[in-house]
Structure 1
Amino acid sequence: MTVPSAATDFSVDLELALRLADAADSESLPRFDASDLKISTKEDRSHVTDADLAAERALRAILADERPSDGIFGEEFGIEGDAKRQWIIDPIDGTANFMRGIPLWGTMIALAVDGVPQVGVVSMPALGRRWWGSTGAGAWTATHSGPRRLEASSIASLDDAAVSFQSITQWADAGHLPALLKITDRVWRDRAYGDVYAYMLLAEGRLEMVAEFDVKEYDIAAAVPIVREAGGTFTSFDGADSISERSSLATNGILHDAFRDLIGAKD
């Protein structure tokens, strides 16, 4: 992927993405832990709730009104329009958590230009947290005292690194369980924080690596500009600079090559 220069201004797109996050929050948060939450099973056997559907519909309606020439790629209603400028939406990342009353879920909103995520917003309203970033403008999170710029950690040794591996089953199904065991045996601390929250912890400098498999573009697109603008590195597990490889390897940047060497990844 070719990232444009810092002179490229995505401020208007970011402002829209933040308003989209507000709209998603207003649909999802009232349904969180609701006794009458409606849950169904999709063809791929994953779950979807009425909140997932309502949130994505709300975002599509706003985009249709304000950006009718842009394309959309959403988890629940697929692709429409031109892919040159494409809004990539996961209305509720962590639906399994959402439907079990666990607050680690969030909306992911990205704008990709020619396949490259340039704007990303992640909102986790059940935690009262939000993160955002755009190419050339840094990555940020909201705090009680105002926005705080994000910065990936400066840890330079695997011995001192903390990692999130998402789930053992995911790594085993991808045929990479031996690599996971090598990582967890080598680093200081390993946990499975799960879903988009782990990437935000990485961008905040609290982790040094997050990796997962069987991911679609909407599972990771919003995290890419946030991690990169915080100073981290985001590739596929095999090192490809693309969000369509069905895997991810995000690090603090300093340790990216060390992690790839450790797991024996090949270019």
Structure 2
Amino acid sequence: MPLSSEFLGRALGVAHAASDSAERVIHARYQARDFSVDAKADATPVTEADREAETAIKDVLRAAFPTHAFLGEEHGREGDGEFLWLIDPIDGTKAFVRGYPMFSTQIALMHEGELVLGVSAAGEFGERAWAVRGGGAFVGRNAHEGKSVRVSGEVEFGPRAAVSTGNLKSMAAQPRRWEALGGLVKRVGRIRGYGDFLHYHLLARGSIDLVIESDLNILDIAALVVIVREAGGVFTTLDGGPVGLEISDALAGNTSLHAEALALFNS
């Protein structure tokens, strides 16, 4: 069943409220440095702030949408149905633990397999990005101060092109793709590794032109997919596949440079 703009607008307001609730939890823990650090099965860190923030998010979402399902970084899958909220309460827990503000809360809504809403809230960094399907993308200090954004118009890999990379460990084990990345580095004007939420925010507002990542999961990027697409960009896997629950790598950019990079990585 098609989603109305009224429903998406309401859902966006609830997602912003859920982000606000999570940010209050995260801010208190972050500023006080009041948390212990445990290791998950994959050796990545988790803190009380991660768990508490996810609970705070779900409390807000569940009050508004009691029949919706959830997939959270810390507490896994809850429920089934046509609506699935995807939640990463602190994307960038390593940064949170080390005391630098390059982490965010990621909340997205998937409807019958399609990502239709995303909020990427980086409260300690001082920035939030959001979008709903068909409504454009916005970046600002908070939900009330956003400005409409668009990806860049850069058309070729040359001295003006800027590319950001992240989580490249698995790509380094793939000689063909690693060689392709090396060739790309030689052609562009600037290579950076902004990582996590930041390079997608920069991409959406036209400050960089392409993002290349491996070693990720859907909760890391679900909200950012909607934001980049609504800013006029393209977001796929590195082999050009669609974004789904099993995604493990990403290629995002404006139309021209995404197409050129896709050809390089898959030639």
TM-score (norm 1): 0.92
Structure-2 separation of matches of 1:184 and 1:33: 38
Change (3 A) 1:143 1:218: closer
- 1:45 aligned partner: 43
Identity of counterpart residues, as a percentage? 37
State the secondary structure of the residue aligned to 1:122: strand
Query: RMSD of the TM alignment (CA)?
Result: 2.0
Structure-1 separation of matches of 2:71 and 2:104: 17
In the alignment, structure 1 segments of 5+ residues that lack a partner are none
Structure-2 separation of matches of 1:226 and 1:235: 13
Which of 93, 96, 100 is equivalent to 2:94? 96
| Number of residue pairs matched by the alignment | 262
Please list the CA deviations of residues 140-185 of structure 1 after superposition, one character each: whole Å capped at 9, or x if unmatched.
Answer: 1125993210110011111121111114434314653223212211
Please report how far the alpha carbon of residue 33 of structure 1 lies from its aligned counterpart in structure 2 after TM superposition.
Answer: 5.0
- 1:157 aligned partner: 156
Structure-2 separation of matches of 1:106 and 1:123: 5
Please report how far the alpha carbon of residue 255 of structure 1 lies from its aligned counterpart in structure 2 after TM superposition.
Answer: 1.5
Please list the CA deviations of residues 7-26 of structure 1 after superposition, one character each: whole Å capped at 9, or x if unmatched.
Answer: 68511111111111101101
- 1:65 aligned partner: 63
Please list the CA deviations of residues 60-85 of structure 1 after superposition, one character each: whole Å capped at 9, or x if unmatched.
Answer: 22222221110100110001111421
Residue identity opposite 2:43 in structure 1: R
- 1:130 aligned partner: 128
Change (3 A) 1:103 1:170: farther
Native 8 Å contact 1:6 1:137 kept in 2:
no
Structure 1 residue ranges (4+ consecutive) displaced by more than 4 angstroms after TM superposition: 4-9
Q: Which moved more, 1:126-135 or 1:181-190?
A: 181-190
Which of 255, 259, 263 is equivalent to 1:253? 255
Structure-2 separation of matches of 1:198 and 1:173: 23
Q: Which has the higher contact order (CA 8 A, sep 6+)?
A: 1
- 2:23 aligned partner: 25
Structure-2 separation of matches of 1:124 and 1:21: 9
- 1:182 aligned partner: 183
Residue identity opposite 1:146 in structure 2: E
Matched, 1:211 2:212: yes
State the secondary structure of the residue aligned to 2:163: strand
Structure-2 separation of matches of 1:146 and 1:256: 30
State the secondary structure of the residue aligned to 1:40: strand
In the alignment, structure 2 segments of 5+ residues that lack a partner are none
Structure-2 separation of matches of 1:223 and 1:173: 26
Native 8 Å contact 1:132 1:226 kept in 2:
yes
Question: Structure 1 or 2: larger helix share?
Answer: 2
- 1:106 aligned partner: 104
Residue identity opposite 1:262 in structure 2: L
TM-score (norm 2): 0.92
Q: Which moved more, 1:44-53 or 1:241-250?
A: 241-250
Residue identity opposite 1:187 in structure 2: V
Please report how far the alpha carbon of residue 253 of structure 1 lies from its aligned counterpart in structure 2 after TM superposition.
Answer: 1.8
- 2:145 aligned partner: 146
Please list the CA deviations of residues 102-154 of structure 1 after superposition, one character each: whole Å capped at 9, or x if unmatched.
Answer: 11100000001112110000011111111100001110112599321011001
State the secondary structure of the residue aligned to 2:66: coil
